[in-house]
Amino acid sequence: MQFFYHFGKYLILLKDAFKRPLNHRYFIRQVINEIDAIGLNSLGIVSIISVFIGAVLVIQTGYQMQNPLIPAYTLGYGLRESVILEFSPTIVSLILAGKIGSSIASQIGTMRVTEQIDALDIMGINSANFLILPKIIAGILSFPFIVILSMIVSITGGYLAAVMWGISTSIDFISGLNYWFVPFEIAYAILKATFFSFLITSISAFHGYYASGGAIDVGKSSTKAVVYSSIALLLSNLIITKLILG
Amino acid sequence: MIDVRNINKSFDDKHVLKDVSLVFEEGKQNLIIGQSGSGKTVLLKCLVGLFEPDNGSILYSGRDFVTMNKNARKEIRKEIGMLFQGSALFDSMTVMENVMFPLLMFSDLNAKEQIDRANFCIDRVGLTEAHNKLPSEISGGMQKRAAIARAISLNPKYLFCDEPNSGLDPKTGVKIDHLIEEITQEYNITTVINTHDMNSVIQHGDNINYIYEGEVWWQGNKSSFLGNDNPELLDFIYSTEILKRIKPKK
């Protein structure tokens, strides 16, 4: 019952959030600021994680490819599939759920407990729309680029590791990357990431918006935001994958 | 003028406001006083629409705030300014941006006029030197003044203040009280102040409403306040040891 109560509250909040903004120019400015906070500020951590994961994936795959019957191009092919289908859209989104989710929940939660949201409401501003919609839009606009960047950086990291440590030749690796390439997989990854961005921003905003009490409660709502958005992300990953690729 | 008629508000089984009827007059400082937990904050939140009363009506110059639709409420909200206990300034914005914010959202003024108006409000509360500072960079008293500047930026007809001098030293508290009094009279605002600061009550209470266990227990003004014969109110006024010593014996 509790689940349905909270889910209903979440839907009502989304209904309030998806309304026409009061001042369009101000709204665009907010979206740009949020793109900076959600998107640009995540590029560094995403790049670092991606380059190392790409390299490690290549080393681990190479370690399991001692059998001469396995074609040499498998290394590049395997890395490409792992990165495009799962690592960049899902694992990177999970990492961002921690980084962005906690930031959104604590920011909105602090505004709630310090009565800043009440101040907006009293002024006649739709606080859900004002605070949440720019974050959702910024997330939806940023995530596809973050995911594409992650793909490029992971594959580059994998390539460098493969060539530098002699796990594969450059030609074999690149031919693996090109082998049986289905462009739709990129679209699938972007679609997933876009949906995940919506889940992360909206669920985190929900937990922040309904925070109450003081600093400890804001911390708790921030933790809940990360936990619930991660669970929602994993569940929807399964459903989307089954629907599209299953 | 705000006319509150027979307001009731409950949370689960707890009946917090019991048939509260009050009139807040224009150009005066209307005080709501009472112990913590007496229901005064709930009353204030009902007045500004943060809580919905279970029944009764709240008439803003004859317009019933409780029954009106969202759009009509928006119009009234433009006439309301509120000073929160913790100031509630937007912490990502400078003082200037905080004061500009209602103007950006609601006024028909052009950019230059908005800046002029914000500058005027900031100067009016004596914060000229803090224009470009963030709320975290200024003192509690300055935050309160910045919040007052934001509250008056749209020329409100109604000003609500929730414990305006709490958390401030007595001298700064008195300054904030004086500022609110000046603004109330200067712009003929209906000011409603939620307080339990005895200095404010004695000095600025044009219309004092004592709430006791969710009911209006006593009404009067600063001249009749100390000489009242209401035992609960007397208990509230002379609650500290020092005040007990100067309590007039009857």
Question: Residue B103 has what pLDDT?
Answer: 94
Domain assignment of residue A20, yes or no: no
Instruction: Report the alpha-carbon distance of residue B95 to residue B153 in Å, rounded.
Output: 12
**Which of A110, A111, A124 lies at the smallest CB-CB distance from B77?**
A124
Domain assignment of residue A4, yes or no: no
Give A105's Cβ-side CA count (13 Å radius): 31
Chain A residues lying within 8 Å of B74, measured CB to CB:
124
Q: How far is CA A128 from CA A63, A135, A166, in A?
A: 51, 11, 54
63-82 in chain B: CB under 8 A from chain A:
73-74, 77-78, 80, 82
Question: Residue B37 has what pLDDT?
Answer: 86
Q: Which fold has domain B1-79+189-250?
A: Rossmann fold (3.40.50)
Our count of domains for chain A comes to 1
Q: How confident is the model at residue B118 (pLDDT cuts 50, 70, 90)?
A: very high
Question: Residue A239 has what pLDDT?
Answer: 96
In this predicted model, what pLDDT tens digit does every residue of B64-107 receive, in sequence order? 999 998 888 888 998 999 999 888 999 999 999 999 999 999 98
Instruction: Report the alpha-carbon distance of residue A191 to residue B70 in Å, rounded.
Output: 37
Question: Which pTM was predicted?
Answer: 0.89
Could you tell me the residue ranges of all domains in chain B?
A: 1-79+189-250
Instruction: Report the alpha-carbon distance of residue A137 to residue A143 in Å, rounded.
Output: 10
Domain assignment of residue A188, yes or no: yes
Those residues of chain A that have pLDDT short of 50 are none
**Which of B74, B84, B104 lies at the smallest CB-CB distance from A119?**
B84
Chain B residues lying within 8 Å of A23, measured CB to CB:
104-105
Contact state of A115 with B85 under an 8 Å Cβ cutoff: yes
Question: Residue B250 has what pLDDT?
Answer: 59
ipTM, two decimals, is 0.87
**Which of A116, A119, A124 lies at the smallest CB-CB distance from B78?**
A124
Give the minimum alpha-carbon distance from A17 to chain B in angstroms, rounded to a whole number: 15
Instruction: Report the alpha-carbon distance of residue B15 to residue A77 in Å, rounded.
Output: 68
Contact state of A114 with B86 under an 8 Å Cβ cutoff: yes
What percentage of residues in chain B have a pLDDT greater than 90? 52
- In which domain, by residue range, is A70 found? 27-241
In this predicted model, what pLDDT tens digit does every residue of B169-214 receive, in sequence order? 888 888 888 889 998 998 899 999 998 888 888 888 889 999 989 9
Report the mean per-residue pLDDT for chain B: 89
In eight-state DSSP terms, residue B206 is: S
Is B249's pLDDT higher than 70? no
Question: Residue B153 has what pLDDT?
Answer: 92
SS3 state at B37: coil
